[in-house]
Amino acid sequence: GAGVSQSPRYKVAKRGQDVALRCDPISGHVSLFWYQQALGQGPEFLTYFQNEAQLDKSGLPSDRFFAERPEGSVSTLKIQRTQQEDSAVYLCASSMRQEQSKNTQYFGPGTRLTVL
Amino acid sequence: KQEVTQIPAALSVPEGENLVLNCSFTDSAIYNLQWFRQDPGKGLTSLLLIQSSQREQTSGRLNASLDKSSGRSTLYIAASQPGDSATYLCAHRSSSSNTGKLIFGQGTTLQVKP
């Protein structure tokens, strides 16, 4: 019955450091999404997984961003050589199956990344 | 680029007032429109989801409508309470997307004063 969890909740990184953000989706959820939310803005899509397959990564802002979901459950979003413009809240969401018409995405609490 | 716009960006009302939040979208190929609530430091909580074949959805004091022809949705909150204070986001899911990704507006931050 647990919801989507994310860790860490807060991360402070020095510019140039690599960071890894973890998402534990709801058990059994096939679809997993990552979004980036800048301060005062709505979330913006980064990437989408169906099971272990990354089917859409069109929202990743640069090749410094990399996401994986090797076993079709937990996902990790990695940002290499962080820059100040990467500072944002990173939200993870999961849903049962994207093609179901009444399906909704369940969001985690997010990881707030601050790059100094 | 698909766009979703929310007006107003911020709203402050006294307790008890009825209020309307507006959302407009440019992509007419809509699959569904969803309203979320976001509290500070928290994730998003789904409030209402309207399928493209529907015109409105209701849950308690909340009513959301969808007008595909004009590209607009409204969220109506009746008899507002201080606990309604939060940021409200609308999100568009396109029927031309095969992933189900959501396009969000920038949100309306609501403050209900006791």
pLDDT of B98 above 90: no
Q: How far apart are CA A76 and CA A23, in angstroms?
A: 6
Residue with tokens 């179901």: A100
Chain B residues in contact with A95 by the CB 8 A cut-off are 100
Chain A residues in contact with B99 by the CB 8 A cut-off are 48, 50, 55-56, 98
pLDDT of residue B5: 96
Residue, of A38 and A2, whose pLDDT is higher: A38
Q: What are B4-36's pLDDT values in tens digits?
A: 999 999 999 999 999 999 999 998 888 899 999
Q: How far apart are CA A63 and CA A100, in angstroms?
A: 32
Q: What are A73-94's pLDDT values in tens digits?
A: 999 999 999 999 999 999 999 9
Share of chain A above pLDDT 90, in %: 88
A103 shares contact with chain B (CB less than 8 Å): yes
pLDDT of residue A100: 52
pLDDT of residue A2: 80
Chain A residues in contact with B32 by the CB 8 A cut-off are 101
Residue with tokens 């860790």: A7
Partners of A116 in the β-ladder: none
Which two three-digit tokens encode residue A3?
Answer: 């919801």
> CB burial class (10 A; 0-12, 13-18, 19+) of residue A39?
exposed
pLDDT band at A11 (very low <50, low <70, confident <90, very high): very high
pLDDT of B104 above 70: yes
pLDDT of A101 above 60: no
Q: Three-state DSSP class for B63? A: strand
B106 shares contact with chain A (CB less than 8 Å): yes
Q: How far apart are CA A105 and CA A93, in angstroms?
A: 6
Chain A residues in contact with B36 by the CB 8 A cut-off are 107
Nearest chain B CA: its distance from A76 CA (Å):
18
Q: What are B27-75's pLDDT values in tens digits?
A: 888 889 999 999 988 889 999 999 999 999 999 999 999 999 999 999 9
pLDDT of residue B27: 86
Q: What are A60-74's pLDDT values in tens digits?
A: 999 999 999 999 999
pLDDT of A102 above 60: no
pLDDT of residue B59: 95
pLDDT of A98 above 60: no
| Residue of A45, A102, A109 with shortest CB distance to B101 | A45
Cβ distance A4 to B43 less than 8 Å, yes or no, reads yes
Nearest chain B CA: its distance from A39 CA (Å):
10
pLDDT of A20 above 80: yes
Q: How far apart are CA A99 and CA A114, in angstroms?
A: 35
